[in-house]
Every structure is written in C-alpha cells, then in structure tokens.
Amino acid sequence: MSSDKFLRGAAILTLAGLTVKVIGSFNRILLSRLLGGEGIGLYQMAYPVYLLLLAVSSAGIPIAISIIVAEKVARNDYYNVRRVFKISLALMAVTGLVFAVSLFVAAGWLIENNIISDPRAYYGLVALTPAVFFSTILACFRGFFQGHQLMTPPAVSQILEQLIRVMTMVLLAYWLLPYGLEYAAAGAAFGAVPGGITGLIVLSFFYCKYKKRWQSGQLQTAAVQDSAATIVKRLVLLALPVSCANIMVPISSSIDMLLVPNRLVASGFAVDEATTLFGYLAGMAQPLLMMATIPTMSLAASLVPAISEANILQDRSGIEKKASTAMKLCCLLTVPAAVGMSVLAEPISLLLYGTSKAATAIMHSGPAIWFLGMHQITTGMLQGIGIINVPMLNMLCGIIAKVAAVWLLTDAAHNIAGAAWATNINFALATALNVWVLRKHKIYFSWLTVAKIIGAALLMGAAVHYLHPLLAGILPVKALAAIVSIGAAAVIYVLLLPLLGITDKEELREMPLLRKFFK
C-alpha cells in the first residue's frame, strides 16, 4: 500500500471523528438526564434547522477549496493559493452573515406558521444564529488545510470545538434550567457558538504557524493572476453539486421518516408498533452504520485533494495507485464490520441498548456499512478527477430506487427488515453507478482482492456465529460474551488476511498506525 500523505491524513481524521463522536455521545447522556425528554425535544426542534442551513451554506465548500488549492499547489502556484484562500474567506464570511441573519429573521416566521409546532423552540433558533456565521467561515479554513493535505489542524480544531461546545451546552443548560425549560434548551443550543469560535481560533493559529513555512522558498508571483470572479465562479461550480450530493444522504434518511412508519401501519401494524419498529431502525441500527463509516468518510476527505493533485499533474499511475489503495483499505475496514454487525446483531443490540428487539434492524442494516463506505470512497475519487455532478445524480438514482424498495418491501412479511434493505439497495446502486463511471475513465480495482476480503470476513462471521453461543453458556455475563466475541472476530479476521494473501508485512509496514510495529 502507498504511504502517501492521504493515508496519514485519513488516519488523523478518523481518530478525530471517533473522538468527536465519543464526546458527543457523552454530551447526549448528560443533556438527556438534565433536560429530560421535553427539553431534548425543544433542542431537537431547533438544531436540525441549523444543520440544514449549514449544509446549504457550506457543505461543499471544504471539498471545493481543497480541490482548487491542491491543483495550485501541484503547479507550485502559491501566489494564487493565497489568493484563493483570501477570496473564498471573504465569500464565506458574507455567505455566513446572510444565512445567520436569515435564521434570525425566519425564526419567528417558522413559529408563527406552525412549521415548528412548539413556540418555545424560538429561543433555541435565535441562540444558534451566530453559530451559522462562525461555522461557515470554519468550512473555508478546513478546505484550505485539506487542499495542502494537512489534516492535523482540522482534526485538532474539530476535537477542541466539540469539547468546548459540550462543556458550554451542559453548563448553560444547568444554569438556565431554573428560568424555564425553553431557556435551558436555548442555552444548550448556544453551545455551538463558543465551539465554532474555538475552532476558528485554533485554525487561525495553525494558519499563522504554517504561513511562514509556505512563504519560505515558495513562488511569490504568478504567471497568470486569477481574477476574483474566476475564483468565485469555480468555487460555486464545484461547491453546489457537492452540497447537493451531501444533502442527498439526509434526504435518504428523511425517506425513512416519511414512508416507513406509514407503510408499516398500512401493512397492519398499530401506530405505536410502527413507531417502535422505526425507532429500532432509525434510532439504533443507523447510528451504528454512521459510526462504522467514520474511517471511510475520513479516507474520502483525504483522498479528494490527493487525487486532484495527481490529476492536475496527469500522473495516471499516481491516480490508479491512490484509488486502488483507498478501495482496498475501504473493503478491509467495512466488509468485516458489515459481516460482524449482521452475525452479532442480537448480542450488539443487548450490549448497547439493553434489548434484543433491535436485532432484526441491526442485522439487515449490516450490508449498508460496506455499500456506504464504497460510495464515500468512489465519490471522493470522482470528485478528485473533476467529475463533480455525477455522484449527485447517481445518489439521486439510488434514492429513487429506495423509495420504490420501501414501498414494496416494507410490508407485513418483511416489516422493518424490508426498510433496512431499501437502504442497502440505495447505497449499492449509487456505488455501482460510481464504479461504472470510474471504469469509463479507466480507473480499475482488483476485484479478486475484494473477493478475498469478503471470503475472510465470511469465514470470520461463520466462526463467531458458533463461538458466541459457547461463550454465552460459559461466561456469567451476556455483555462480556458479546465483547469477547467481537474481540475474537477481530483476531480471526486479522489472522486470515495474510493466510489468504490479502495483505503482507510490507503493506502493513506502510500503514500509518501499524508502521511502528513492523520496523
């Protein structure tokens, strides 16, 4: 495997993503205990509006800036690198301000028109207004560092941003709770503001630190100075389709919310039964899917500027090497996770949620880990070679297929398993279309290696399928049996990789986190 910077960057972003998730989970527990269901409900009425505005205003900006910056760096055009950053920073400051003001103005309208049903959520909406501004500017900084393939600054900023956000949320919620639940929920929402400011301060510090290094010995003038209009046009043309593609995943989740409960009720389930089944899918199975694909999401973010740089240099061998490395690493991570989640669905459900009733949703959602991971990686490859619109269109085809699958499969015979397979079909189709487009551009993968990885994962799954009941009969605590089974699965899988000729010591030596063990 290649020891390129994108692997190190992916490892750094993965560790940061997992850390942020752990901090966020801890925060959710504290807030739930502090505010109760009603307070959390008020918070959840406001926060999705903020996330939607943020997705519209800046979701595609980090990738767009990273592509442009990577291209300029590949040409040693550091003058225009700085020019791109300054113009994009000004653009995002204006955009963030416009969207922040829009949220402030729209907050009352959303309440008055009963789009948000509880008037008390108004305070949370207003409290989130400054966070839109700061988070939009943050997206510009992160894209700039990713374009330089420097992932440590964005990773550190994400962790510190989340830490300050959580601390502020809990403290303000506790302090404002005596004044009313609506004020406590607003205080929790306001935590995004100091979090965003912290992230901005951290990235500004890193920018000042690296600025001297970039200026030292670098070209200070450009043969052709890009105009502001040219830079803004390129940013918009890159960011818009990426933003639309990113919004497709929440839209896919919204389909579950809109269709699955109604289809279950139409199939003969009572309303409360349908709601419970949907909770097992959306509230218990799908969060595991998102957690398992953090490494591939990080790998894709690191892959885009790396392939963009090779593409601008017309380095076909570099593109093919990075693409094959990313695909192999994606499968090495997601295939065993998919198999393990399906085989150990009931023990995982008991271990994490204290009930075995989510096992069906978890088991049938397992394949989506592999399909979503493949979709993230292939999307990153396409974006890296400058094909921006296609991933959005492919995901749209997947969503259309999902709607049809939800309608056909979510019935009395399949119930929530049918809804889970609709998600599998969604990501599988979008991935297959991405791979087809990559083949048209002569980017190929070793499907024999992928088949071997699937074989190793299936052998692992078969072994653990028989091992877990034995452990459950021996060990006094069921949770301990689940933990040991998961550990055993990991050991079996790692041992099978060299036995099946999937990896060797030389490849492991080049992996960022394993290199020190194979010196």
* Each residue's pLDDT tens digit, 319-339: 888 888 889 989 999 999 999
Q: Cα–Cα distance between 350 and 481 in angstroms, integer?
A: 11
Is 129:104 a contact under the CB 8 Å cutoff?
yes
pLDDT at 1 over 70: no
Identify the helix (H) or strand (E) that includes residue 274: helix 271-279
Which pair of structure tokens corresponds to residue 163? 């830490």
**Can you say how many angstroms the Cα of residue 77 is from the centroid of all Cα atoms in its chain?**
31
Cα distance between residue 265 and residue 259, in whole Å: 10
- Residue predicted with more confidence, 9 or 176: 176
Instruction: Determine whether 217 is exposed, middle or buried from the number of CB atoms within 10 Å of its CB (0-12, 13-18, 19+).
Output: exposed
d(CA 254, CA 52): 12
Domains of the chain by start residue, with CATH: 1-218 (1.10.357), 244-445 (no CATH), 446-519 (no CATH)
- Does residue 217 surpass a pLDDT of 90? no
Cα gap 40→24, rounded to integer Å: 14
pLDDT of 510 reads 59
Residue with tokens 């599998």: 424
Residue 171 — pLDDT band, cuts 50, 70, 90?
very high
Q: What is the DSSP letter of 281?
A: I
Residues 447, 453, 459, 462, CA torsion sign: negative
SS3 per residue for 178-212: HHCHHHHHHHHHHCHHHHHHHHHHHHHHHHHHHHH
Q: What is the mean pLDDT of the chain?
A: 84
pLDDT per position as a tens digit, 242-263: 777 777 766 776 677 778 888 8
- For 414-465, how does the pLDDT look when each residue is reduced to its tens digit (9 = 90+)? 888 898 999 999 999 999 999 999 999 888 888 888 999 999 999 999 999 9
* CA pair distance 249, 257, nearest whole angstrom: 13
Confidence of residue 413 (pLDDT cuts 50, 70, 90): confident
The set of long-range contacts for 268-273, using a CB threshold of 8 Å and a minimum separation of 24, is 268/412, 269/412, 269/415
Q: Is the distance from CB of 42 to CB of 116 less than 8 angstroms?
A: no
Enter the pTM of the model: 0.81
Q: Which two tokens stand for residue 99?
A: 């969207």
Query: 76: number of CA atoms within 13 Å, CB side?
Result: 6
Query: pLDDT at position 58, please?
Result: 72
* Whole-angstrom distance, CA of residue 390 vs CA of residue 72: 24
Q: Tell whether the model's pLDDT for residue 150 goes beyond 90.
A: no
Lowest model confidence (mean pLDDT) among 20-29, 171-180, 350-359, 489-498: 20-29
Interatomic CA distance for residues 340 and 462, integer angstroms: 10
Q: CA-CA distance, 415 to 434, in Å (whole number)?
A: 30
Contact 303, 10 (CB under 8 A): yes
